Amino acid sequence: MSKNNDATSESRRKGTVVINEERCKGCTYCVRFCPTGALEMTDRLNHKGYNLPTLAYPDKCNGCDMCGMYCPDFAIFGRRIGQNEEDE
């Protein structure tokens, strides 16, 4: 039963984010400027000692890439689910 709920949840998702954890400096811009509130900062640290963001609410993410547009270190970007790989 749980597996069906996960599949249904997965099919409703519009977007996702990709995070390059080693480039992240924990500035929180991605979290602050996410229009849907899908991102949160975590207690996890990268090798430089910076806290990392995570996609805490995947169902809220629409893949708009606002996180990527505001990231000064090009450490995160959003993409719409179902986007062709050759479009990147």
HSE (CB half, 13 Å, CA atoms) of 13?
22
- Is residue 40 one of the residues assigned to a domain? yes
Q: pLDDT (tens digit, 9 = 90+) per residue, 33-68?
A: 999 999 999 999 999 999 999 999 999 999 999 999
Range of the domain at 13: 2-82
pTM of the full structure: 0.78
Q: What amino acid is encoded at 34 in this protein? A: C
Question: Residues 6 or more apart from 31 whose CB is under 8 A from it?
Answer: 39, 40, 41, 53
- Is residue 88 one of the residues assigned to a domain? no
pLDDT at 12: 77
Q: pLDDT (tens digit, 9 = 90+) per residue, 1-35?
A: 444 455 445 567 899 999 999 999 999 999 999 99
- Is residue 87 one of the residues assigned to a domain? no
Q: Of 62, 47, 49, 82, which is closest to residue 17 (Cα–Cα)?
A: 62
- Is residue 70 one of the residues assigned to a domain? yes
Residue 49 maps to which CATH number? 3.30.70.20
Q: How many domains does the chain have?
A: 1
Judged by DSSP in three states, 43 sits in: strand
